[in-house]
Amino acid sequence: PLSLLDLAAQSLLSDEDSALRALRELPAGLFPTLSAAAFDGGHVKTVTAMVQAWPFPCLHLGSLRDQSITQDLLEAVLDGLQCIPPATVGLSRSKLKVLDFTHDFVHSNWEECSETSPAPFVITHMLEEPEPDQLTCSSREGPPWDCEPVEIHTDLFLGGLFGFFHLSGFPSYILQRVEKSRGCLRLRCRALVVNRVPFCSLVEILAVLELEAIREVRLHYHSRCCFLSDLIQFFTQVGRMHNLGNLIMSDIPWDFPTNCFSLLSPLGHLQKLHLIFGCLSGQLHKMLSGLQKPLETLVINGCRLTKSDISYLSQSIHATSLKELVLCSNNLSQTVPGPLEVLLGEVSGTLQHLNLRSCRLKEAQLTALLPALCCCSHLHSLVFYDNVISTSGITHMLQHLARLKELRRVQYPVPAEC
């Protein structure tokens, strides 16, 4: 059942003109309840007015994710964010600094904040195709009046289909409004997920974003066609994401120029790197040597690593800092005895998770790794299934691994004789 406060909000909104007048005297504590009712009821004018008079530094629109938001409501929110000359403002000036559309809402940067619901808000479905003048106005121009820009915090999901990409839906509309705001709106994207989008289109989109705000990039390319100039521009932009902590790249073309990796050297906060493509064979040093800070997580899946790649990794600055190492779907049969044992010895002081799935290792090689594995005193999980080993070999390994006090999970292969 609705509370008396909810019923009062609905009653007030039944006469929208009265609701607009009431905003001048409405206590700050009642804004969240009234705004939730305004969104639920589709009261466009009230939504715009409430955004313009919002008494908190942050507005989190979490309740909109699981609703079928209309274009009108989204326009109403962004209309309220547009800078208005103080002389024409009928309401008290808004204290709003951040409009938060992110998945998990945190407001540690603000003393006060309000949200309409704890649920996250992400729109990935199609609304309409972008206007022809999309991405033509520059958001780098100064605001038309003396006012502090409002930041829009969001996660962006961009996807193409069958080699074609048309920016549409929520990302399209947000980008257009930011571009046309003349500096009144700033788009700060925390996580950027890209699936089958041409690099040339990515370069244009990244030009609108505040690159230093991006914390995570997930790039799934899956295309055979790309131009070197677009790759260079894209990786140059990624290199400017100074606060990037997590970078995932998969399905990169086989002829990908690994020299582009040197453009990532400015990434001083990168902690997690996931590489899932085949062009790294014998080239791992080009990817990692430019990074100035040791990684905590390194995932190299199906990259056809060579003996020299494992040797380089064991001697790199990352080896003594890695907490998670995933080398699955690489043929490591030539690295034991030798580089793989050395690598495990180097990571033994910090390693918590190790994945050697589908590495074409045989029983003798897995047994040879035991001394190094038993030195990994902080190891929590070990995965080595889809390799060749007998029942007695598995028993032998588990008996030795039982010495590791922090080991909680082991995934081993089906015995070869089964």
What are the extents of the domains in the chain? 271-418
Give the distance, in angstroms, between the CA of residue 176 and the centroid of all CA atoms in the same chain: 22
Residues paired with 193 in a beta bridge: 157, 218
- Average pLDDT rounded to a whole number, residues 259-272: 88
Q: Mean pLDDT score of the chain, rounded to an integer? A: 82
Query: Which of the listed ranges 19-28, 102-111, 334-343 does the model predict with the highest average pLDDT?
Result: 334-343
In the chain, % of residues over pLDDT 70: 80
Q: What percent of the chain has pLDDT over 90?
A: 38
From CA 278, how far away is CA 260, in angstroms rounded?
15
Which tens digits make up the pLDDT trace of 395-411? 999 999 999 999 999 99
CA distances 113 to 36, 55, 108, 185, 193, Å, are 15, 9, 9, 19, 27
Predicted local confidence at residue 183, as pLDDT: 82
Among the ranges given (10-19, 20-29, 220-229, 405-414), the one the predictor scored with the smallest mean pLDDT: 220-229
Decide if pLDDT at 315 tops 60.
yes
**Entry field: residues in the chain:** 418
| 79-83, 86-90, 260-264, 299-303: which is most confident | 299-303
Name the band, by pLDDT with cuts 50, 70 and 90, for residue 2: confident
pLDDT value at 240 more than 60: yes
What residue type is assigned to position 379 of the chain? Answer: L
Judged against a pLDDT cut of 50, whether residue 88 lies above it is answered with: no
Write the pLDDT tens digit of every residue in 134-176.
Answer: 333 334 455 555 567 889 988 888 876 545 566 667 777 888 8
69-73, 91-95, 144-148: segment of lowest average pLDDT:
144-148
Return the residue matching tokens 């600055």. 317
The pLDDT-based confidence of 93 (bands split at 50, 70, 90) is low
Q: What is the pLDDT of residue 177?
A: 85
pLDDT of residue 143: 52
Task: Assess whether pLDDT exceeds 80 at residue 55.
Answer: yes
User: Is pLDDT at 253 greater than 70 in this prediction?
Assistant: no
Q: How far apart are CA 329 and CA 25, in angstroms?
A: 64
**Residue that wins the pLDDT comparison between 251 and 404:** 404
- For the chain, the helix, strand and coil percentages under 3-state DSSP, each to the nearest 5: 35, 15, 50
* pLDDT bucket at 325, cuts 50 / 70 / 90: very high
Domain spanning 271-418: CATH 3.80.10.10: yes
Q: Which residues of 117-174 form beta strands (DSSP E)?
A: 150-159
User: Residue 214 phi/psi, 5° resolution?
Assistant: -75, 125
First to last CA, the chain: 60
Give the pLDDT band (50/70/90) at residue 210: very high
Q: How far apart are CA 86 and CA 34, in angstroms?
A: 24
pLDDT of residue 142: 52
301 pLDDT tier (thresholds 50, 70, 90)? very high
Q: Computed over its alpha carbons, how large is the radius of gyration of the chain? A: 27
Give the pLDDT score at 165: 64
Burial class (CB in 10 A: 0-12, 13-18, 19+), 3: exposed
Burial of 319 (0-12, 13-18, 19+ CB in 10 A): buried
Each residue of 329-372: pLDDT tens digit?
A: 999 999 999 999 999 999 999 999 999 999 999 999 999 999 99
